[in-house]
Amino acid sequence: MKRLVMMFCCCLIAGQAWADTCHWPQWQRFSQQYISREGRVIDPTDGNNITTSEGQSYGLFFALVANDRNRFDQLLNWTENNLAAGDLTARLPGWLWGKKPDGSWGILDTNSASDSDLWIAYTLLEAGRLWRSRGYQVIGTLLLQRIAREEVVMIPGLGTMLMPGKIGFSESDSWRLNPSYQPPQLLSRLAQTEKVWGEVAQTNRKLLLEGAPAGVAADWVVWQKEKGWQTDSKTGATGDYDAIRVYLWLGMLAEDAPGKSELVAHYQTMAKLTKDAGLPPETVDTQTGKATGTGPVGFSAALLPFLAGSPAQAVQRERVINNPPGSDAYYNNVLTLFGLGWDQQYYRFNQQGELQVSWEKDTCKNIH
C-alpha cells in the first residue's frame, strides 16, 4: 500500500492525472471475467482457480495497453504481496498460487517463471515511461537486475541465456529451454538498460533459428554440451500451446526490427500449414513438420500478426471475431487479447522494442 501511495504522489508531482481508460472491449470483458476485485488473475481451466505469475504479467501488460491504471495498480499490488512476499525487488515471484491441501490459499510452487518475470519488468519500465512514474521504473529496474542475477546463465557453446526458471532446468551438461519465453522485442527494449540483455538477445536468435530445423517452433528444446540442439525428452518434438507464442512474438516485431524478415521467413512452415488447412494446426512435429488437429480460436488470434497482409490472416480474423473464447478459456482469451489487440491497433512495438499505445496519441478507437 505504501508503494502505491508513493506512485500516486509521483504521478501528482509529474503533473499527470488519472487518464481515462481506453475503450477496449476485449480487455474489459477479460478484466470482468478473470480478474478479482483485489487484482488476482484467475485461471478456471482445471476447476482449481489457480493464479500464475504468467497471468499476472499479462494482466499488467494489457492494463497498460488499455491505460487502465487503477487495474494496473491492483494487479501489481496483488502480485507483489502474494507472489513475492511483499517486495518484487527483493525476490522473484513464485509462479503458482492456489488452494493448498489444508484448505488455505497461497504459493503452491515458489520456483520462478522467467517469461513472466521478464514481462513484469518490461511492463513496469514501459509503464514508468508512458505514465511518467519513477516508482514503476525503479521497481522494474531492480526486478530486471534480479532476473539477470538469478535466471541468466552462460551456456558453454551457446552463449548467455535466460533460463526458464531459477531452478530445475539444467544438469551438468544440458540445459532445457523454452523458445516462447523470450520475446525479441522485449529483449531489444531491455538491452537499453544493461549489456547482458543484448547478449541474451543474440543467443535467443540462435535458439529461434537453429532450434527449429523444420521451420516449426517447439514447446521445449535442449542444448547439450558438445552435441548442440536435442529433442526434449519430456515433451518430444512437439510444438503446440507454448510454441504458438513464438509466431505471435515474431509477427508483432516492428517491420524495421533487425532480423525480423529472416525470422519470419524461417517459420513459414506454420503459415503454409495454416493456409492449406484453413485453420492453424493444434500440434506440429518440429522435426518433420507434420501437423495434427485443429488449434483453438486463440491460435488463430495469435497468428494474426504473423500472417499480416495475407489471405490467411483474413480467414483467422473472421474466426476470432465470430467465435470469441468463452469465460472458461483463460489462455485462449490471453492469446486473443495479444493477437486481436495488435490487429486492431491498440498497441505496437517500435524498432527498439518500446511499447506504442493508441491512447498515447489520443487515438483510442471504439472497436467492437
HEC readout, 326-343: CCCCHHHHHHHHHHHHHH
Cα–Cα nearest to 30, from 317, 296, 337: 337
Does 354 qualify as catalytic in the annotation?
no
Q: Which residues are CB-neighbours of 276 under 8 A, at least 6 positions away?
A: none
Answer whether 115's CB lies under 8 Å from 54's CB: yes
- Catalytic choice (54, 73, 126, 151): 54
Q: CA neighbours within 13 Å on the CB side: how many for 230?
A: 14
Give the integer Cα–Cα distance in Å for 192 and 7: 23
Question: For this structure, is 194 an active site residue?
Answer: no
Dist CA 140 CA 124 (whole Å) = 5
Question: 2: which 3 cell numbers?
Answer: 505504501
Closest alpha carbon to 245 in 307, 201, 188, 183: 183
Nearest by Cα to 52 from 114, 126, 5, 143? 114
Q: Which of 43, 68, 80, 115 is catalytic?
A: 115
The residues annotated with a catalytic role in the active site are: 54, 115
